[in-house]
Amino acid sequence: MKLLIANGHLIDPAAPENTGMSVLIEDGKVTAWLRPGEAAPNDAEVFDASGLLVAPGFIDMHVHLREPGQEHKETIASGCAAAVAGGWTSVCPMPNTNPVNDNAAITRYMIEQAERAGLANVFPIGAITKSSDGSELAEMGEMKAAGAVAVSDDGRPVPSAGIMRRAMQYARDFGLPVIDHCEDKSLSSGGVMHEGRVSLLLGLKGMPALAEDIDVVRDILLAKETGTHIHIAHVSTKGAIEAIRRAKNEGIRVTCEVTPHHFTLTDRAVDGTRTSGRNSGETQTDIRVPYDTNTKMAPPLRSEEHLEALLEAIKDGTIDAIATDHAPHHADEKSLEYDRAPFGITGLETAIGLAFNELVHKGVIGLERLVELCSANPAKILGLEGRGTLKPGSIADVTVIDPSLTWTYRNADSRSKSKNSPFDGWTFQGAAVAAFVAGRLAYKR
């Protein structure tokens, strides 16, 4: 079975390559690159990628697929459908399922459900501690053997530096990166948005940037001491960025990711002011809808200075990856008081649009860097062999993007079971138009 993704513009920063090139795929693997005019085998099925960008499949290293346990929010099948529609050929679900993914049986179950769905690859992230309760270490070795690619207690970050130190010492034996959602809950508990001017205006309890900064600094010191690779999830503060930049300069094994919502929105979205990052002289202000629970997530949308620091870090390489933190919640759960609504928004289907609007079109980064952030680097961080590149011999996960397609995202059209995105009705230029997983067409727009 041969497939030719023909006449596209290949962007493969791991190769590195950035040129017009057709990609030949056989039995799920890339076998050759063909320059324009080079003869293709005439028995290959042809996907015409003229005018389109062809990139190694995007890998979202931070999602919540809710299965097992909260299938009313999302299933692995519905989450994977949303993933491929958003251009992500691989996703890494966090372990905060019910039961928690703290053992090999759950890890295997997630992978099997993904295989049944037959859409995106699922690489589970196992728990650091049993039930993610921060006390006893989970069976990391067994989870790794079952297919887990990293460990994290995500939304319930390990509060004890002592346990975290042991977790890092132990994870190193298995080559597992430790991913931390950095939040010192003694500083942030009860908070529902960024602590600052807007929380003051709205009378909502704030979560100070300090709560993130302190935990990031702790983790960096532990990474330095243990030599374990620490990956900081959804970094959102200027202080965290500065600490990570310093640590990288010192050669400490630290990487980090940013979410599209954190590089797009500020805390003023909670007051109903719709804005997008810098250089946007045309701040869009809709009808003011304050206290929209789809602006509530952890870490919270931060203020302008933090967003500026994130953009700078995306530009200078301090930030390694873009990850969505796709966090589906049922409408019933979000239709509550702002204080009581759960944290989190969906993100799989809007990420590329936001990256184009806020990063590419505004000149923050170029296309190569975008592919690095969404594919090459996540593959490297998680040690995914044969992914994050389309060099001959690699696995044929391919994301095909139309950089000029203008489209409008609608929650109602989302493939996710949940519709909790603040970007409902936003218009983007740039979209995934096809996704191939191991050479098989998983999505076509």
Q: Does 200 interact with other proteins (rule: CB under 8 A)? A: yes
Residues 286-305 that bind other proteins (CB under 8 A): 289-291, 303-305
Stretch that binds other proteins, among 51-59, 95-103, 113-121, 273-281 (CB under 8 A): 273-281
DSSP 8-class letter at 395 = B
Minimal distance, residue 332 CB to other proteins, in Å: 6
Per-residue b or e along 314-324, where b marks 16 or more CB atoms closer than 10 Å to that residue's CB: beeebbbbbbb
Total number of residues that touch other proteins (CB under 8 A): 31
Nearer to other proteins, 86 or 208 (CB): 208
Stretch that binds other proteins, among 95-103, 168-176, 283-291, 351-359 (CB under 8 A): 283-291
Q: What are the tokens at 352?
A: 């590329």
HSE value, Cβ hemisphere, 13 Å, CA-based, for 57: 37
Nearer to other proteins, 43 or 332 (CB): 332
- Helix 161-173 vs helix 209-226: crossing angle, to nearest 10: 50
Nearer to other proteins, 271 or 320 (CB): 271
43 is catalytic: no
Residues 311-350 that bind other proteins (CB under 8 A): 332, 335-340
Residue 317 backbone phi and psi in degrees, to 5: 95, 0
Which member of 2, 29, 278, 361 binds other proteins (CB under 8 A)? 278
Residues 413-432 that bind other proteins (CB under 8 A): none
Strands of the sheet containing 150-152, edge to edge, are 125-126, 150-152, 178-180, 230-232, 254-258, 321-322
Residues 359-378 that bind other proteins (CB under 8 A): none
Q: Does 189 interact with other proteins (rule: CB under 8 A)? A: no
Cβ neighbors of 387 (< 8 A, separation 6 or more) are 56, 57, 59, 90, 375, 379, 394, 395, 397
Q: Which of 258, 182, 186, 194 is nearest to 221 (CA)?
A: 182
Q: Does 196 interact with other proteins (rule: CB under 8 A)? A: yes
CA distance 188 to 209: 9
Residues 203-232 that bind other proteins (CB under 8 A): 203-205
Cβ neighbors of 331 (< 8 A, separation 6 or more) are 418, 419, 420
**Active-site choice (154, 219, 325, 402):** 325
- Write out the residues near other proteins by the rule CB under 8 A: 196-197, 200-205, 238, 268, 273, 275, 278-281, 283, 289-291, 303-305, 308, 332, 335-340
Residues annotated as catalytic are: 325
